């Protein structure tokens, strides 16, 4: 993904890195290769990572049942996905 640096206006491809902060928070960030300005992409913690994992599992399950033609089950799974997405958004908002 290409972005423009707010600071020096150069265009660059994001090379995302992660570092651990206190309280189990993982911070994902990248730097402008031209001026070295730092950008914080997002933060995660054990709660958001747990929800994210569940979310991925549910999406996989949803695809599986859908591919078997079980539309009712797929709809149920999808509702669960939507709920988890909301939960994830809330948890992310707390730390970002
Ligand atoms: Zn820059």
State the total domains in the chain: 2
Measure 9 CA to ligand 1 centroid, in angstroms: 6
Measure 12 CA to ligand 1 centroid, in angstroms: 9
Measure 15 CA to ligand 1 centroid, in angstroms: 13
In the prediction, which pLDDT does 1 show?
80
Strand partners, 13: 2
- pLDDT tens per residue, range 47-67: 999 999 999 999 999 999 999
Q: What is the span of the domain harbouring residue 18?
A: 2-44
In the prediction, which pLDDT does 60 show?
97
50 and 39, same structural domain?
Answer: no
In the prediction, which pLDDT does 4 show?
96
Measure 16 CA to ligand 1 centroid, in angstroms: 15
Task: Characterize 6-42 residue by residue with b for buried, 16 or more Cβ atoms within 10 angstroms of its Cβ, and e for exposed.
Answer: eeeeeebeeeeeeeeeeeeebbeebbbeeeeeeeeee
90 and 52, same structural domain?
Answer: yes
Measure 2 CA to ligand 1 centroid, in angstroms: 13
CA 5, 49, 4: angle at the middle one, nearest 5?
Answer: 10
In the prediction, which pLDDT does 21 show?
97
All residue ranges of the chain with pLDDT < 50 are none
């Amino acid at each position: 993904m290409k972005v423009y640096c707010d600071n020096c206006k150069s265009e660059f491809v994001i090379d995302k890195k992660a570092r651990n902060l206190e309280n189990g928070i993982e911070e994902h960030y990248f730097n402008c290769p031209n001026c070295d300005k730092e950008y914080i992409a997002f933060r995660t913690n054990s709660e958001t990572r747990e929800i994210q994992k569940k979310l991925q599992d549910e999406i996989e399950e949803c695809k599986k049942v859908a591919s078997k033609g079980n539309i009712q089950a797929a709809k149920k799974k999808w509702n669960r996905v939507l709920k988890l997405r909301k939960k994830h958004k809330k948890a992310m908002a707390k730390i970002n």
